[in-house]
């Protein structure tokens, strides 16, 4: 801060000297003086102009660089701390203090398989008081569809987490089967530990990714190529490039030609979790609400009630049950039978123009392959976590 202030003072000083030089020149033009005064004026002018020139060079070399680096530093700090871009239309005078996001830490037994029973159902209980103001007001509280927290819409507005468009969405979806994710669960980046976050930041820095910026398809593919080359020291195969293009389409459901920073960050966060942590560790991240929805999905697919489902049925769950619900489905009661095929406007169908049955034909080997409940959870846990954000983007495109 001291460096910025001193350079600001230098700029102000240069501006004052420039004004003095201009006034001095004007005075010389208006009042021609004697030779001695002219010589003195010339000497003084030379001194002032030299000082102005030196000051201007210092000013040009100084403020622009630190201001740019300061903005970049602030963006990297927001990325490190898990905070998004501050809302532009926000009344800071009536603002609550934002919560301190504390990144999780890995425990010794995280990699051991957790005991998640299929038969034993879990009782889902939400908090009784608002997470922000800790006041109970019954029906006006909005529950999170992922965790146990509840909120007042007014508290969310004062925190800056609820703007005009999102306020309508929360009101319409919070008490439906689709639900609404709170600001903790909406941000997949908060699942990363400090070590994992620093690893991701290092990758983004090496690939010249600017925080809080949108990415076009070319930007996204270039980034994927760089990451693959850094990791494997060879060029990314064409099949993986096609899969990356499909992922871009899934992250751009509105076909704007670019993906938002938060969607890109969520995608990279869940991919990093897949690479670094074993599936058992990911299973420990599931909340009781997510586990219950997974039970409902598995039991609906297990038509024989023998505790096994086929590979095709598992893929059906991956492509339909754990993907985002469309806005036109908000008022329906969601179940496996109601979800059905992917809609025509979804990322998977927009590129191929086919229904999921044509995209994902079941082979004989898949039909005979049986999947039990623990395996069903392990193979789908990443997609369950990826479905947390409120964004319509699909943050983890299932492999075709």
C-alpha dihedral sign at 40, 41, 44, 50? negative
Instruction: Characterize the bridge pairing of strands 150-152 and 141-143.
Output: antiparallel
Greatest distance between any 2 Cα atoms in the chain: 112
List Cβ<8 Å contacts ≥24 apart for 254-261: 254/392, 255/350, 257/216, 257/217, 258/214, 258/215, 258/216, 259/214, 259/215, 259/220, 259/393, 260/214, 260/391, 260/393, 261/85, 261/211, 261/212, 261/213, 261/214, 261/215
pLDDT higher at 347 or 362: 362
Tell me the per-residue pLDDT of 23-62, one tens digit each, with 9 for 90 and over.
555 554 545 444 444 454 554 455 545 554 555 555 444 4
Q: CB of 297 within 8 A of CB of 336?
A: yes
Instruction: Characterize the bridge pairing of strands 308-310 and 370-372.
Output: antiparallel
Instruction: Write the DSSP string, 44-86.
Output: HHHHHHHHHHHHHHHHHHSSHHHHHHHHHHHHHHHHHHT--PP
Tell me the per-residue pLDDT of 104-129, one tens digit each, with 9 for 90 and over.
899 888 999 999 999 988 989 999 99
Tell me the per-residue pLDDT of 270-286, one tens digit each, with 9 for 90 and over.
999 999 999 999 999 99
| Average predicted confidence (pLDDT) for the chain | 75
The pLDDT value recorded for residue 354 is 37
- Where residue 95 falls among pLDDT bands split at 50, 70, 90? low
Q: Which helix (H) or strand (E) holds 88?
A: none
pTM: 0.70
Q: CB of 223 within 8 A of CB of 251?
A: no
- Where residue 328 falls among pLDDT bands split at 50, 70, 90? very low
- Where residue 377 falls among pLDDT bands split at 50, 70, 90? very high
Percent of the chain with pLDDT over 90: 42
pLDDT higher at 342 or 301: 301
Would the pLDDT of 295 be above 80?
A: yes
How big is the chain by its Cα radius of gyration, in Å? 29
pLDDT higher at 285 or 330: 285
Which one-letter DSSP state was computed for residue 109? T
The pLDDT value recorded for residue 118 is 93
**Three-state SS at 144:** coil
Would the pLDDT of 298 be above 80?
A: yes
CA atoms of 348 and 352, how far apart (whole Å): 7
Close Cβ partners of 284 (under 8 Å, ≥ 6 residues apart): 110, 114
Closest CA to 70 of 116, 21, 1: 1
The pLDDT of 326-353, averaged and rounded, is 36
Tell me the per-residue pLDDT of 212-226, one tens digit each, with 9 for 90 and over.
899 999 999 999 999
Would the pLDDT of 326 be above 90?
A: no
């Amino acid at each position: 801060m001291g460096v910025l202030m001193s350079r600001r003072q230098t700029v102000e000083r240069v501006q004052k000297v420039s004004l003095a030089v201009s006034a001095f020149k004007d005075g010389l033009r208006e009042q021609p003086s004697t030779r001695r005064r002219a010589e003195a004026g010339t000497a003084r002018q030379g001194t002032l102009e030299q000082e102005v020139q030196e000051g201007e060079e210092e000013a040009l070399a100084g403020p622009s660089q630190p201001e740019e680096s300061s903005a970049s530093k602030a963006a990297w700090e927001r990325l490190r701390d898990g905070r998004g871009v501050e809302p532009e239309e926000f009344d800071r005078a009536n603002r609550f203090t934002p919560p301190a996001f504390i990144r999780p830490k890995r425990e010794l037994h995280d990699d051991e398989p957790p005991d998640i029973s299929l038969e034993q159902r879990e009782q889902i209980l939400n908090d009784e008081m608002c997470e922000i103001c800790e006041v109970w007001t019954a029906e006006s509280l909005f529950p999170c569809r992922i965790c146990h927290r509840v909120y007042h819409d007014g508290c969310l507005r004062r925190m800056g987490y609820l703007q005009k468009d999102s306020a309508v969405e929360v009101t319409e979806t919070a008490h439906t089967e689709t639900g609404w994710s709170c600001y903790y669960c909406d941000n997949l980046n908060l699942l990363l530990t400090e070590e994992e976050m620093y690893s991701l930041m290092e990758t983004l820095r090496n690939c010249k990714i600017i925080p809080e910026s949108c990415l076009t398809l070319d930007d996204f593919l270039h980034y994927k190529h760089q990451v693959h080359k850094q990791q494997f020291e060879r060029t990314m195969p064409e099949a993986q490039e096609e899969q990356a293009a499909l992922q871009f389409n899934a992250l751009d459901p509105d076909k704007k030609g670019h993906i938002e920073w938060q969607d890109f960050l969520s995608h990279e966060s869940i991919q990093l979790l897949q690479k670094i942590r074993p599936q058992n560790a990911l299973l420990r991240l599931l909340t009781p609400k997510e586990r219950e929805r997974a039970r409902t999905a598995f039991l609906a697919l297990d038509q024989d009630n023998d505790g096994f489902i086929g590979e095709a049925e598992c893929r059906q769950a991956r492509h339909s049950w754990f993907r985002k619900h469309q806005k036109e489905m908000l008022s329906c009661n969601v179940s496996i039978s109601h979800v059905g095929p992917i809609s025509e406007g979804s990322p998977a169908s927009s590129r191929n123009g086919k229904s999921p049955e044509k995209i994902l034909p079941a082979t004989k080997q898949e039909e005979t392959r049986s999947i039990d409940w623990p395996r069903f959870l392990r193979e789908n846990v990443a997609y369950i976590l990826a479905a947390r954000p409120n964004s319509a983007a699909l943050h983890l495109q299932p492999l075709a």
